[in-house]
Structure 1
Amino acid sequence: MAELGLNEHHQNEVINYMRFARSKRGLRLKTVDSCFQDLKDSRLVDETFTVDEVTEMLDGLQVVVHGEVESELINTTHTNVLLLRQLFFQAEKWHLKLQTDISELENRELLEQVAEFEKSEFKSSNKHALRNGQRGQMAANTESIKPKLAPLNEGGSAELLNKEISRLNEENEKLKARLKTIETQATSALDEKVKLERTLKELQKIQGDYKVPHNTQEINNLEKTVAALKSDFERTLNDSTANKKSLEEDLVSTKHNLLKVQEQLDMAEKELERKFQQTAAYRNMKDILTKKNDQIKDLRKQLLKYEPED
């Protein structure tokens, strides 16, 4: 199979676009064929025609075919611009600057290489589809395990916002776990403080009851030890309170960031939907469907003239 020198992911993207272009091209060719068929059905009803009549029919056909071909060329150009726009948007999000070489678009060797690639790729695809049609249920199983192409938009703002939301959620869970641990430590410190205060009161009571001179030095040492323990406990409690306050502030800030990112994601989705409704491809497809519906109505009216009544 012919290759384009791209990696597997990018080559699959090219194949996906070529499949889209082939579908559009097939629809336009059917439209051109219908122009000729309409001329045959509506004008070629006599056995002989004058030169003026033939010239008039060909001029009318030329106008219709010219309009169809021009519309398709314009639509193809606009479609290619939209494709380049997607690629440039993805590059700008990573602060990249892409460059194009217009002269390469007329490189006959490369054009032939692309034509050979399209021929070999879709030829093998047609054989595979025919084989699947003959095997029945095996085709459904094969299709179910076939990897699907990821849309271009997945690599854009939506994916980045989803990753940022996941990261913030993970950080939020970590902060909650740390806060719970510090609350447990603070509770234990408060219990220890109560025990120390109770012990201090008991020592003070003992000091008041016993005034023996040889125990004075021992009591003073005990008081110093208790004061040191109390000071160390208060310092530990203050540090725990400061850590708890800092974690609460971090948790509030993280929640605000999460809500902000979610709001940006909703706005980005709405903006993408609105821009899609305004694209030339959407309007062209709507015009084509309207025109086809009018042609079908005209054909039905013409058929009713020649169809015998029951």
Structure 2
Amino acid sequence: MAFGSSDLAESGQQHVREYLAFLRRKREAIVSEVAAEFKELKETRLLDETYTIDEVGTLLDGLLDAVRASLRRELVEVSHSAALLLVQVLEQLDAPGAPGTASIDLDIPRTEDGDLLRAMATFENDAASGGRAALAVRAHVGKPIARALPTIGGTARDLDSAKESAAVSAERAMKLQAQLTAVLKDKSALGEQLEAERRKREDADAKLAEARAKAGGSATAHGGAAAMADEMRSKLLAATKERDSARAELAALREKGTAVAAGPAITAELERARQEASELAAKLHASEAALNGRLETSAPFKNVRTMLAKKNALVKTLRDQLEAAGISTGDIDAAAED
């Protein structure tokens, strides 16, 4: 490696600066082209919330093909531009009237020298910022290895193309790996959400079954209370019939008393019958009132009424919980009617 100032004149170094600026614009164009491919994929293909692994693979394969085609096209164009620039230099040296008998030796392998490439990067950055620093290394030292120029040039271009393709592929693989990792994380999160929703659904079904069971128990208790009330109503109806029968007998006795001539014995009998009928009617009224009072104030009736109130409140609470969980109570009503 020959460090120190380059033998290239200032005018030549200015040409190098201009050519580096040209290559910088080409690089930015390539980056913009690749970014446009990603943007197009995002805006035209990424429309759903979730994708399967096969769908993601298809999207990435399509993006890979598009980026590969764009890079190959731009890199080939840059290579051809560099070759045209070299042709311009050679044509000027071979032109009639060119000064002296200068010859050019091309040392293609030195174009991949790491120190030279870093020195050229420093020179480019200085030129891009408006500096005028001289090139700090010599790009050519001595004669190249004795090889045919076309063969060396073709091999170097193929090698450069292969290295660039490998670098692009490695970078693309890293990006695809990152995207795949993100997709797998999203899939895992979605699975956890589905599992949580499934557990919520199972809890809601369990509460629904419990509500149906409690509703069945409430109906049984209500049926027992109804049977007790029916029995009391039957007793009351029997007492009412006895009262009506006594009243009918009393009316018959009254009619009989007015139809027959009143004698002392008949009058006494009639009075006694009236008194018995009056006492019987009073007893019937008292029995009816006592029966109604016992029915309303009896401990079983109160217990049944309290239990029904609690069951109704529980059923209302369960209905509210089911509605809050997004489950309609229409199915419960239909099942209860069946």
| TM-score normalised according to structure 1 size | 0.38
Q: Which entry has the higher C-alpha Rg, 1 or 2?
A: 2
| TM-score normalised according to structure 2 size | 0.35
In terms of fraction of residues, the more helix-rich structure is: 1
